[in-house]
Each structure stands twice: as structure tokens, then as C-alpha cells.
């Protein structure tokens, strides 16, 4: 067993060797941990210059002068970048034309007809409210289950569905009372 001294290059034998056990023959060999310890001790005593970026301030030492930050230039740079992004998006929209945003009819309207026959304007409004208020995102559920526990995540899913269904129910029944279809 070897004990590292406080000065670089010194190694002291440990006093507590078992009776009859010889001292290690490789007394000069150093592990990475011992080398790091010796380097840190030498650095604390000022014998080894600190590595770049690891300078620390000790009590009584003056702090290095702070560099002034130019906020105006940073904001101007962000504004220029935003203006470029908006200009490029508008240019790409008009270069493609508005026809790219239109849906084309390919003759297969079975789903469209089924939705039209099933939903009234009032029922579609209440359905949209339900979809907006309940938590349909499984990623949110999985993160909540991991961070807050599965029990809380399950209760949140049930709670959000009840809130969404309740508001959609009130909107639908209120619309029916007001004469909606």
C-alpha cells in the first residue's frame, strides 16, 4: 500500500502493513488517481499553473475585470435574422403559388360524405372542443408517468378527459337549447 505525500515526487510507505507482508516493489509506479491528486496539490500551492479556463479567485485576490456586453448589437443581429427568415418564407410561398395550399378532389368522397352525414355544425363544434381540452398526447403522458408517477399521470388523463367531455357536453346542450342543430 502506498500513500501519496503532499509534495510532488514524494511517496511514503503506509505504516499499517500486515505483519510479514513486504512493502510493494513498485513504489515508484503511480496510478492516474495519484497523479491527479499530486497535480491538484501542486496547483493549489502555486507550483503548477492552472489550465486555461480553470482559474479561480481566492479570498483576497482581485477578480478579473468584467467584459462589457453589447446588448444592442446582439438584438440587432437577432432582428436581421428574423427579417431574413420572414422574407424567405414569404418568397417561397409566392414562388410556389397559392394552388399548392388547395386540396384536390380525386373523386373518392366516401369519407367526406360519411363525416357530413354524421356531424352537424353543433356536434362538430363540441367534438373540436373535446379534442382541444383532453390530453391526447402519449408523449406527455409518458413523461408525466416518469416524472410524477404513473398514478398521477393516470389521474391527469382521466381528469383532462372529464373536463373536455364536460365542456363539450355543456356547449352541445347549450347550443341545442338555443335552437342549434
What is the per-residue pLDDT for 52? 53
The single-letter DSSP state of residue 163 is H
pLDDT higher than threshold 50 for residue 13: no
Q: Is residue 154 part of a domain?
A: yes
Q: Is residue 133 part of a domain?
A: yes
Number of domains forming the structure of the chain: 2
**Over the stretch 63-82, which tens digit does the pLDDT of each residue have?**
666 777 778 888 888 888 89
Q: Is residue 167 part of a domain?
A: yes
Q: If you average pLDDT over every residue of the chain, what do you get?
A: 76
Q: HEC profile for 133-156?
A: HCCCCHHHHHHHHHHHCHHHHHHH
Residue 9 lies in domain:
2-16+24-44
Amino acid at each position: 500500500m502506498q500513500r501519496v505525500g503532499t509534495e510532488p515526487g514524494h511517496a511514503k510507505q503506509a505504516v499499517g502493513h500486515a505483519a510479514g507482508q513486504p512493502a510493494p516493489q513498485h513504489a515508484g509506479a503511480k496510478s492516474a488517481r495519484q497523479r491527479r491528486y499530486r497535480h491538484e496539490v501542486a496547483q493549489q500551492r502555486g507550483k503548477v499553473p492552472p489550465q486555461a479556463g480553470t482559474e479561480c479567485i481566492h479570498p483576497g485576490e482581485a477578480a478579473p475585470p468584467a467584459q462589457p456586453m453589447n446588448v444592442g448589437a446582439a438584438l440587432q443581429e437577432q432582428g436581421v435574422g428574423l427579417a431574413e427568415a420572414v422574407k424567405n418564407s414569404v418568397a417561397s410561398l409566392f414562388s410556389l403559388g397559392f394552388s399548392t395550399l388547395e386540396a384536390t378532389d380525386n373523386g373518392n368522397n366516401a369519407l367526406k360524405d360519411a363525416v357530413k352525414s354524421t356531424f352537424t355544425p353543433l356536434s362538430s363544434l363540441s367534438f373540436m372542443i373535446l379534442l382541444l381540452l383532453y390530453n391526447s398526447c402519449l408523449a406527455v403522458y409518458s413523461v408525466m408517468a416518469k416524472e410524477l408517477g404513473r398514478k398521477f399521470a393516470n389521474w391527469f388523463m382521466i381528469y383532462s378527459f372529464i373536463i373536455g367531455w364536460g365542456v363539450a357536453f355543456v356547449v352541445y346542450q347549450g347550443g341545442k337549447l338555443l335552437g342549434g342543430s
